[in-house]
Amino acid sequence: MRTLIVHDRKEVSSVLREIVAKEAPDCEIDVREDLLGARDILRERFYDLMILDLTLPVDAKFGEPSLQNVNLLLKQIINEPAYKVPADILGITADEDALSLVKNSISEHLMASIPENSDGVWKEMVAQKVRYVRSSRRAREIVSHSAYGVDVAIVTALDKEAAPYDELLELRATGIKDISQFPFRSKEGAMRKGVLLKIGKSGQAPAASETQALISLYRPRLMLMTGFCGGRRERTGPGDLVAFTTSFAWDYGKWTEKWEQPDAAPSISFEPRPTPLSVEENGIDHLVRTVIARDESNPAELERRVKELSDGAIEGWRIRRAAAGSGSAVVTSEEILERISGLDENIYAVDMESYGFYLACRTTRMAKPDFLCLKSVADFCNGQKNSGLHEACSLISAEFAKRLITNEYEFN
């Protein structure tokens, strides 16, 4: 919990600090004595509670305190995006005229207005409000750790992987860069809410950090990552959709030196030390397994569009459940692909984000989502790698993700 005390009389701000420290021992407390100080720190930090003197000077060194100054401060921090608005604002003053004026000016912005009376009752009133804010904050934390905020969140690394959703979903702006929201109807017939995040870059680190931020902000019940990946030629074909049951961080490990002969230079090799991350078998992964078992044909119109986008390179595709090797470098060498595949025989695909995505989903302190990475094979990690199939593969994975959330997944 964080509290900001803004009061121009040090003897009162000291008492307020003692009250807050007693009622909320874990609280971080900052103190400012004028409007300038309050504005500066509210640009930098968010507070659960601000205890605000209702008559403040603009500058404590030579300014005169007034309610008009406080009114200006509240208008600025509430209406201007540069400021972080405190969750609750408690007004306090020894000026009786200011209390009467508050009702007609700034009362809508305050949780309460407390008079600094001479009998000391105001101290207990402040203590009660601090206890309320602390318990309210605890309740919000419990909700954030146990309750979901939206039904589904879809994540893509690159903009072109997210492009199919412009037609598949009713995307609406959220006011947050690269995040859109969309309504959809689930198989139960209920209207539900989803969000789409376009990270805008590839790699494990951006995937982990952006996914964690998205989970903290929206607390989704289901997380899906879609896009395209590389595949093992003997296990997959162009367009095959791979549901990543496990993700191996193939480029995590150590470089080692080996001396085969005492007088010769050592050979240097890289030894991966992967810690595989797996999805829960009884969640969305189990649902995909059920879909695969039904062995249904791909929609004819989707096959037509994919064939057109791929210039005939993809005429059909299968859905596979398999492991993936995930690293921060693009793989264009079949020799490297074989080394990655040697980590686990079930590795069918290679990508650059799934390990970071799975790490964020598994380790979040929010309500843990069900999650799965779905990517379509666009190349075979060789010297012939190109972007010719990216558009078609992005469509394949996006269409299947939409199918899962609208026709298959049990949100209840």
pLDDT in tens, 18-72: 999 999 998 999 999 999 999 999 999 999 999 998 888 998 788 888 888 888 8
C-alpha distance from residue 181 to each of 185, 192, 261 (Å): 14, 11, 62
Tokens encoding 179: 């995040």
The 10s digit of each residue's pLDDT in 301-321 is: 999 999 999 999 998 999 999
d(CA 193, CA 148): 11
Least confident of 75-89, 152-166, 270-284, 366-380: 270-284
d(CA 31, CA 240): 60
What class does CATH assign to 150-408? Answer: alpha beta
- What's the gap between Cα 399 and its chain centre? 23
Pairing of strands 267-272, 253-258: antiparallel
Q: Name the band, by pLDDT with cuts 50, 70 and 90, for residue 107.
A: low
- What's the gap between Cα 104 and its chain centre? 41
d(CA 340, CA 324): 9
User: Torsions phi, psi of 78, nearest 5?
Assistant: -85, -35
In the CATH scheme, what is the code of domain 2-146? 3.40.50.2300
Residue 213 has pLDDT above 90, yes or no: yes
Helices 204-218 and 354-363, axial angle in degrees (round to 10): 30
The whole-chain average pLDDT of the chain stands at 89
**What residues contact 153, with CB distance under 8 A and at least 6 apart?**
194, 195, 196, 197, 214, 215, 218, 220, 222, 223, 224, 369
- Asked if 389 and 212 touch (Cβ cutoff 8 Å), the reply is no
Q: What is the DSSP string of 257-271?
A: EE-SSTTSPPEEEEE
Q: How close are the terminal C-alpha atoms of the chain, in Å?
A: 34
C-alpha distance from residue 409 to each of 99, 126, 191, 272 (Å): 56, 49, 13, 36
Pairing of strands 370-379, 319-326: unpaired
Going by C-alpha positions, the residue among 69, 147, 141 that lies closest to residue 106 is 69
| Mean local confidence (pLDDT), 161-188 | 95
Domain boundaries, the chain: 2-146, 150-408
Residue 89 has pLDDT above 70, yes or no: yes
Residue keyed to tokens 């078992």 = 293
Q: What is the pLDDT of residue 172?
A: 96
Helix locations, 219-353, DSSP H: 284-294, 300-309, 334-341
Residue 4 DSSP SS3:
strand
**In residues, how long is the chain?**
412
Q: What is the CA radius of gyration of the chain?
A: 28
- Share of residues in the chain with pLDDT > 70 (%): 94
| Mean local confidence (pLDDT), 6-15 | 92
Element (H, E) at 146: helix 121-146
Residue 331: exposed, middle, or buried by beta-carbon count in 10 A (0-12, 13-18, 19+)? Answer: buried
Residue 359 has pLDDT above 90, yes or no: yes
The 10s digit of each residue's pLDDT in 219-266 is: 999 999 999 999 988 899 999 999 999 999 887 777 777 777 777 777
The 10s digit of each residue's pLDDT in 267-308 is: 777 777 668 899 988 899 999 999 999 999 999 999 999 999
Pairing of strands 172-173, 88-93: unpaired
Q: What is the DSSP string of 196-215?
A: EEE--S-SHHHHHHHHHHHH
- What's the gap between Cα 357 and its chain centre? 10
Residue keyed to tokens 């540069």 = 82
Residue type, 166: D
d(CA 194, CA 173): 12
User: Torsions phi, psi of 250, nearest 5?
Assistant: -70, -20
Q: pTM of this prediction?
A: 0.69
Q: What is the pLDDT of residue 105?
A: 59
- What's the gap between Cα 259 and its chain centre? 47
d(CA 399, CA 309): 14
Please work out, in degrees rounded to the nearest 5, the angle formed at the alpha carbon of residue 343 by the alpha carbons of 339 and 347.
90
d(CA 327, CA 249): 6
d(CA 182, CA 158): 19
